[in-house]
Amino acid sequence: MSHDDLVRFSVSCPICRTEVTAEYRRLDVVGALLNDRPVRLHAPCCDKTWTASYIEMQQIRACFDTTRLDEPSRNRLGDPHKALDD
């Protein structure tokens, strides 16, 4: 797995509130954001794993600057061979 395949963002441990840097596969996180699937977070300080809350999901989304992920693709309704920039 290359370094570019990973994404890092801060999470706050729900037990001790320590900010830790989480590292996840970019494909997994983007897939979860696009498909409204839960993201499991982990804080090694207290060895705590939890499902990201709505607010945490919005913070993760902001880290990716993924506002475009929510926009419908013109290709879905039009010619599938046509480029998005046409």
pLDDT at 17: 95
Residue-number span of the structural domain to which 46 is assigned = 3-68
Does a structural domain hold residue 76?
A: no
Measured CA angle at 29 (ends 64, 37), to 5 deg: 115
User: How many domains does the chain contain in total?
Assistant: 1
pTM score > 0.75 for this model? no
Does a structural domain hold residue 16?
A: yes
pLDDT tops 70 at residue 44: yes
Closest CA to 7 of 17, 19, 31, 16: 31
Does a structural domain hold residue 61?
A: yes
